[in-house]
Amino acid sequence: MKYVSPALLLALTVSLGACNSSTESTAPTSAPATPVAAPAVTSNAAEAIAVRNPRIRATPPGQMVSGAFMTLVNTSATPYALTGASFDSAGMIEIHETSIKDDVMQMQQVSQIDIPANSSAELRPGSYHIMLMGLKKELTAGTSATITLKFSDGTEKTVEASIGNVDQ
Ligand SMILES: [Cu+2]
């Protein structure tokens, strides 16, 4: 006849209990995993658009107009557009597109310049530019000035543009 001492029985029970408890605590939770939410789209034009090489054509004394040029790089998957700008010493600002018609170079006002998703828009002489009119002061080569860009989503971005002889 086998004899199991009560002490051993107790030890076994405790040990089993401990084992069970340990197993429970490490068992995976039966609750369904919370689906990972897609990251919120926090992008706006001011953050998504990088302004490269902003430059403004220097003006000789007495000249009241100039142009601002730059490359607008859209680093996002959302299309944006440049819809306007402000410049302290300009009385009036328009967005223009230069084109050649019947061998005559002409400028035309446009409502905006599209900056497609993951692409860029080029503002350069002979093409799109920001026309600065009614200048209240001379724009001296070698200096710089701030210009504020306005985008289609209502955000704005102020950049420091170099003033000089803009050829392209
Ligand atoms: Cu113009």
Domain of 92? 45-164
The size of the chain, in residues, is 168
Q: Which amino acid is at 137?
A: K
Q: Which two tokens stand for residue 29?
A: 């939770």
Q: Answer yes or no: is 148 within a domain.
A: yes
The CATH code of the domain that includes 136 is: 2.60.40.1890
Number of domains the chain is built from: 1
Does residue 14 belong to any structural domain of this protein? no
Distance 98 CA to ligand 1 centre (A): 7
SS3 sequence, 71-89? EEEECCCCCEEEEEEECCC
The CA 112 to ligand 1 mean position distance, Å, reads: 13
- Residues pairing with 114 in the sheet: 81
Q: Is 31 exposed, middle or buried (0-12, 13-18, 19+ CB in 10 A)?
A: exposed
Q: How far, in Å, is the centroid of ligand 1 from the Cα of 94?
A: 7
Indicate whether 142 belongs to any domain.
Answer: yes
**Tens place of pLDDT per residue across the chain (168 aa):** 555 555 544 444 444 444 444 444 445 555 566 666 665 566 899 999 999 999 999 999 899 999 999 999 999 999 999 999 999 999 999 999 999 989 999 999 999 999 999 999 999 999 999 999 999 999 999 999 999 999 999 999 999 999 999 887
Q: What is the pTM of this model?
A: 0.74
| Residue 17 maps to a domain | no
The answer to whether residue 19 sits within a structural domain is no
Please tell me the distance from the alpha carbon of residue 132 to that of residue 87, in angstroms, as a whole number.
8
